[in-house]
């Protein structure tokens, strides 16, 4: 089951464009509805999601560019 935020998740678009896709998309966005994704957890809670936040909870500064 896909994450419900697939269509408008900014980081998901970056994954696709930067070819890092399969690791994140298959591991998080298209797995268990994205429930293991730290971005989704924040969003579900109505909190702001930093653009640099990866699904695994780490930050990647280059995502801000």
Q: What whole-number distance in Å separates Cα of residue 37 and Cα of residue 18?
A: 19
CB of 62 to ligand SF4, least distance (A): 16
CB of 26 to ligand SF4, least distance (A): 10
* Residue 45 CA to its chain's centroid (Å): 15
Count CB atoms within 10 A of the CB of residue 42: 15
Among 55, 56, 61, 62, binds ligand SF4 (CB under 6 A): 55
Contact residues: ligand SF4, CB under 6 A: 3, 5-6, 9, 11-12, 28-29, 34, 37, 39-40, 55
């Amino acid at each position: 089951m896909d994450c419900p935020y697939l269509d408008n998740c900014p980081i998901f678009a970056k994954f696709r464009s930067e070819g890092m896709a399969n690791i994140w998309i298959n591991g998080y966005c298209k797995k268990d509805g994205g429930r293991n994704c730290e971005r989704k957890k924040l969003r579900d809670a109505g909190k702001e999601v930093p653009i640099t936040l990866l699904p695994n909870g780490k930050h990647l500064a280059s995502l801000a560019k």
